[in-house]
């Protein structure tokens, strides 16, 4: 991995280049000032998801969920824990498939919850069903190329 990584601001969709050495210092977006890697789960819309998938060099794990899904709601606290544990080496986000049904079609989603891991412009792995935090974190660590 190079000395910098490209990250999409999950708040305003602006592209940012961040020195790897500064990832743990809570870097902020150069446009809107939002934290780029704060250990929180970001809520995405389809446009921001598309840009982040295409641009981001850090692993981005996205939870495809819906409010009516019991297992999705059960897994939410586990997913939030993983976001805190993996920051700043990976970022976690979620997208509501009920509000944005087109993402289900685009990514071939047949059931939720579904976690898809993206990095460097491509999908690098999927994890289906509600999972405990330890399994989610292990999946990211074993599948992605994360900075030290």
By annotation, the residues acting in catalysis are 69, 72
| Interval 87-135: pLDDT, tens | 999 999 999 999 999 999 999 999 999 999 999 999 999 999 999 999 9
- Distance, in Å, from the CA atom of 52 to the CA atom of 32, rounded to the nearest integer, reads 16
- Give one DSSP letter per residue of 16-61, joined into a string: EEEEGGGGGG--B-TTT--BSS-SSPEE--HHHHHHHHHH--S-EE
Q: What is the pTM of this model?
A: 0.94
Instruction: Decide: 50 and 103 in contact? Cβ < 8 Å.
Output: no
Report yes or no: 51 and 43 within 8 Å, Cβ to Cβ.
no
Q: What is the pLDDT of residues 80-93, one digit of tens each?
A: 999 999 999 999 99
Q: Decide: 92 and 86 in contact? Cβ < 8 Å.
A: yes
pLDDT tens by residue, 27-74 = 999 999 999 988 999 999 999 999 999 999 999 999 999 999 999 999
Domains defined along the chain, listed by start: 39-143 (3.40.30.10)
């Amino acid at each position: 991995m190079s000395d910098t990584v490209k990250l999409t601001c999950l708040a305003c969709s602006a592209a940012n280049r961040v020195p790897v050495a500064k990832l743990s210092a809570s870097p902020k977006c150069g446009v809107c000032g939002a934290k780029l890697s704060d250990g929180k789960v970001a809520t995405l819309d389809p446009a921001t998801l598309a840009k982040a998938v295409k641009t981001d060099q850090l692993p981005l794990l996205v939870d495809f969920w819906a409010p009516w899904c019991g297992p999705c709601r059960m897994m939410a606290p586990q997913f939030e824990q993983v976001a805190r544990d993996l920051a700043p080496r990976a970022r976690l986000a979620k997208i509501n498939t009920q509000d944005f049904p087109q993402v289900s079609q685009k990514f071939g989603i047949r059931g939720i919850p579904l976690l898809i891991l993206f990095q460097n412009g491509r999908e690098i792995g999927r994890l289906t069903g509600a999972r405990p935090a330890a399994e989610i974190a292990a999946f990211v660590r074993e599948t992605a190329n994360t900075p030290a």
